[in-house]
Chains A and B, each alone.
Chain A
């Protein structure tokens, strides 16, 4: 769809997906079954505006790094579009670039990596390493190359330059290495820097220095940043806008101030509450969501966050794996529960490992299984899962639990931000209609 190029736009992802095929065992490959796909980035819409710092925040496995790599053409898109709009005009479709075109893109879009020790070639001096991009792209050589390296090192504060030119990365401290990595990234005079956790491996006392350097460079060189991090505190200070990612999706995006002042998505709220606060007068009581980021190859039905969500509704996507987790949690938490006996009654839980809205419990005595479930429910009646139970019935000699079909909420505008949660922007009745077009074929 041809659109007017918006001069403020540097890059734009539309319904971008990056799925990775997982290799199964030899047998499953032979039979062509069980091939699983990890949806690292799953239908993301996001715009990168000229001169801004866009933060992409999420835990490991959220897809934030893959999104950043896609912008450099380093992660092959499996769906959607990702366009780049250079200042020189025109539009490039990053997902279709190959070879020389792709290399040309990288003179415009550069990356700063998390681990400066791994990002620098240990057998190259700082002069060789920092100047390497100019050599690769055939932009400079000889004295010109030397001068440009000197200028870049001075810019990132590695001065007096003579002390660093002939050093090897192993001679430098962590902060100095990261400065060298940044020097290498800016030496091609790029427009966009993708900074993937640029300070998270550095000491607290050094982080502020590197962030300050990056802010100075942005202002001096007119850069645009995609700042990828799991650290909300630095994102709050550093970014103009923030996108919160969870399991390959953006769940909330908006101006930094608004997101931090009024976090809307329950996941954003949880992340904010989890940050340890050094000031004893500002500490808040913790109310942590249970569990960890689920398997991205088989994400939860409905909203991916529902198994951990404290305010989940009946339509958020309850399924049999949630019932398994609930039983396990019950046996951990309730010290009075007779684990051995209840486990024997309910039967093996391994049959509940697939995403299904009907759970068939393996126990041979349905009435007894029902009694166990009733006691679990009585122990914690507030548990949101029970709201999603449509029916508990005896079928074919087993107890089966049916769950309400879930809604996968799309990003919707709400008070200046966009949130993907049934609590915002939707009809309060939570209509059970499919929210976003899924991936029926996958």
Chain B
């Protein structure tokens, strides 16, 4: 756990290019993740936000290869330069746990009620690091517990003797004790109380100082992203519609979906209720061109006919939106293309 060297900080841990994940359903293939591009550097925390059903969890699991039977991945996904999609199942298994970790939402269902915490740690370490000594197991476990704020006196306790927040800390400690390079945390604080959630967010935020881990934090809570993440990716209908530095994206959202998502969030500064009309589309039959156009208040006629390219914008973020591109003079649209889109009236029946 040496302090990060500068060149190391620039090291790309995860690189996804044109990544696609789909699975078969009775109604046809669902393209839950569609042509996603992003990179994650060492020690970086990337927040992934969007409404339910936009493919956030599928992307998170797809990155780790934890997809159900019947799901497939395509495109390119490199972990520290290794192409993950061509690895055999066995080679993938070897990376998981040790190099790739996952933190789930419900900690109690992930801990064995009959095993002491010490046994959880011993099992985890022995499976992934063959031949590790007993003393080393204890030393590493206690250190992971300490970082998570769990007293060493509780090392031999059982899972039920811990509170909800403590259990989630245990899960995080069990993931991090292997010092993985990349961790996916899927809604890690959703089941927790406000104060405990804030404690966990702080721990996640401080992770890079201790473990040098890159983190993909999946959440529907934009406030958490603003507080804990370096960058944020906004997903809509299987695509990343905007990605960039968290402060920049929240201050100057470029994609109308990002902007409307922020406006509909109820925070302490909320003075009026705003919401996005309609609901995310069924991913078996997504809308053509820009998938957000049926709900977009800024939609132009081009949005319904041509898919917007993802373009780098001056503020440092990248967005796939015709309106944003035109605003920054990156594309030129003729009068017909930029005419406001005639939209069908949305009935409440289509509302979420």
Contact = CB atoms under 8 A, between A and B. Distances in A.
B25 to A, nearest CB: 15
Interface in B180-201: 193-199, 201
Interface stretch (B12-20, B95-103, B268-276, B334-342): B268-276
Given A278-B262, A349-B153, A204 B347 contact: no
A211 B274 CA distance: 10
Given A60-B193, A208-B275, A164 B349 contact: yes
B351 A205 contact: no
Contact of A276 (B152, B201, B271): B201
A186 to B, nearest CB: 16
Interface stretch (B63-71, B243-251, B298-306, B312-320): B243-251
B92 interface: no
A270 interface: yes
B28 interface: no
Contact of A277 (B193, B246, B247, B268): B268
Interface stretch (B77-85, B118-126, B216-224, B324-332): B216-224
Contacts of B51: 203-205
B163 interface: yes
A288 B195 contact: yes
A25 interface: no
Contacts of A159: 347-349
Given A204-B265, A274-B198, A278-B250, A59 B347 contact: no
B274 A286 contact: no
B286 interface: no
A235 B128 CA distance: 47
Given A173-B279, A212-B273, A234 B195 contact: no
Given A280-B247, A280-B251, A230 B153 contact: no
B166 interface: yes
A233 to B, nearest CB: 5
B151 interface: yes
Contacts of B223: 275-278
A173 B151 CA distance: 43
A59 B246 CA distance: 28
A280 B246 contact: yes
Contact of A292 (B193, B261, B262, B266): B193
Interface string B197-238: 111011000000000000000001111111100000000000
A69 interface: no
Interface residues of A, number: 58
B297 interface: no
A382 B276 CA distance: 49
B272 to A, nearest CB: 8
A289 interface: yes
A209 B152 contact: no
Contacts of B349: 158-160, 163-164
A343 interface: yes
B195 to A, nearest CB: 5
Nearest to A267: B195
Contacts of B343: none
Contacts of A212: 273, 275
B149 interface: yes
Nearest to A348: B153
Interface string B109-151: 0000000000000000000000000000000001001100111
B93 interface: no
A242 to B, nearest CB: 13
A331 B194 contact: no
A206 B197 CA distance: 22
Contacts of B276: 205
A270 to B, nearest CB: 6
Given A205-B51, A233-B270, A283 B227 contact: yes
Interface of B: 51-52, 142, 145-146, 149-154, 163-166, 193-199, 201-202, 220-227, 246-247, 250-251, 260-262, 264-271, 273-276, 279, 347-349, 351-352
11 contacts: A231-B194, A232-B268, A270-B195, A275-B267, A278-B225, A278-B250, A279-B267, A280-B251, A283-B226, A286-B198, A292-B164
In the complex, the 7 A-B pairs of residues with the closest C-beta atoms, listed nearest first: A276-B223, A328-B151, A59-B193, A274-B198, A175-B352, A157-B348, A278-B222
Interface of A: 59-60, 157-160, 163-164, 173-176, 202-209, 211-212, 215, 230-234, 236-237, 260, 270-283, 286, 288-289, 292-293, 328-329, 331-332, 335, 339, 343, 349
Given A59-B196, A207-B266, A286-B198, 17 more contacts: A159-B347, A160-B349, A174-B352, A175-B352, A204-B220, A205-B352, A208-B274, A212-B273, A233-B270, A237-B270, A275-B194, A275-B267, A275-B268, A276-B197, A276-B221, A288-B199, A331-B152
